């Protein structure tokens, strides 16, 4: 949902934003409730860096970065064995590494191939890499991808967000397998 909302944010008219606002607030509130105190704090810091207004500042994708709301996803309290095993990433495994690379690069195409709403799909072949030296995909391109991708793929990307980018790497490098819900 985060990827979907972020994409819609960039392309929406003020009227469309108005219609979407309640849903986005609900989304952020759901994430907020599930997040640890530390994650909430990091989220607020990230939001401040992006600037107002809320809730859009939680979704805005900065070049080379990720939406602030990702902090809430990454910082969700681990549900232990009441969670979904398929959402777990083992950072020490080859598949986990692939997932983390895709997350770190915010590569929605790879993420779409790697994950399903039911969990990570490690058996999937990744699409070919972009040519070496290619510039990071501009924001519009990513939005186009998201808009053009079927919902399943969007969901995959959403799930992919739960694992780690940037701030989440610390937790992963500590050897902790993460258990996160899709959002």
> For residue 44, with 0-12 CB atoms within 10 Å meaning exposed, 13-18 middle and 19 or more buried, which class applies?
middle
Stretch that binds another protein, among 9-17, 40-48, 60-68, 76-84 (CB under 8 A): 76-84
Contact between 154 and another protein by CB under 8 A: the answer reads yes
Out of 16, 23, 129, 140, the residue judged to bind another protein by CB under 8 A: 23
Contact between 81 and another protein by CB under 8 A: the answer reads yes
Out of 11, 16, 33, 45, the residue judged to bind another protein by CB under 8 A: 33
Contact between 34 and another protein by CB under 8 A: the answer reads yes
Contact between 16 and another protein by CB under 8 A: the answer reads no
CA distances for 152 relative to 7, 36, 46, angstroms: 16, 28, 28
Contact between 38 and another protein by CB under 8 A: the answer reads no
Q: Are 183 and 88 in contact (CB under 8 A)?
A: no
Q: How far is the CB of 28 from another protein (least distance, A)?
A: 9
**Which residues touch 8 (CB under 8 Å, ≥6 apart)?**
16, 20
Q: How far is the CB of 123 from another protein (least distance, A)?
A: 13
Stretch that binds another protein, among 46-54, 97-105, 114-122, 129-137 (CB under 8 A): 114-122
Q: How many positions of this chain bind another protein (CB under 8 A)?
A: 34
Rounded to the nearest 10 degrees, what angle do helices 2-11 and 14-34 cross at?
Answer: 160
Q: Are 24 and 53 in contact (CB under 8 A)?
A: no
Please report which helix (H) or strand (E) contains residue 112, including its range.
helix 108-114
Contact between 116 and another protein by CB under 8 A: the answer reads yes
Query: Is the Cβ of residue 109 or residue 183 nearer to another protein in the bound state?
Result: 183
The radius of gyration computed from the CA coordinates of the chain, to the nearest angstrom, equals 16
Q: What share of the chain is helix, strand, coil (3-state, %, to 5)?
A: 55, 5, 40
Q: How far is the CB of 167 from another protein (least distance, A)?
A: 21
Q: Which residues bind another protein (CB under 8 A)?
A: 1, 4, 23-24, 26-27, 29-34, 77, 79, 81-85, 87, 116-119, 150-152, 154-155, 158-159, 181-183
């Amino acid at each position: 949902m985060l990827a979907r909302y972020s994409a819609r944010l960039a392309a929406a008219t003020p009227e469309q934003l108005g219609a979407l606002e309640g849903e986005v607030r609900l989304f952020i509130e759901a994430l907020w409730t599930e997040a640890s105190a530390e994650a909430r704090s990091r989220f607020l810091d990230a939001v401040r860096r992006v600037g107002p207004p809320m809730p859009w500042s939680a979704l805005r994708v900065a070049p080379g970065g990720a939406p602030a709301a990702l902090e809430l996803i990454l910082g969700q309290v681990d549900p232990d064995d009441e969670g979904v095993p398929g959402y777990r990433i083992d950072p020490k495994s080859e598949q986990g590494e692939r997932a983390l690379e895709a997350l770190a690069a915010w590569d929605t195409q790879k993420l779409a191939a790697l994950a399903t709403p039911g969990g990570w799909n490690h058996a999937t072949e990744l699409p070919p890499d972009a040519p070496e030296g290619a510039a990071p995909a501009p924001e519009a391109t990513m939005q186009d991808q998201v808009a053009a991708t079927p919902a399943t793929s969007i969901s995959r990307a959403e799930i992919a967000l739960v694992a780690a980018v940037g701030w989440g790497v610390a937790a992963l490098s500590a050897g902790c397998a993460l258990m996160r819900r899709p959002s």
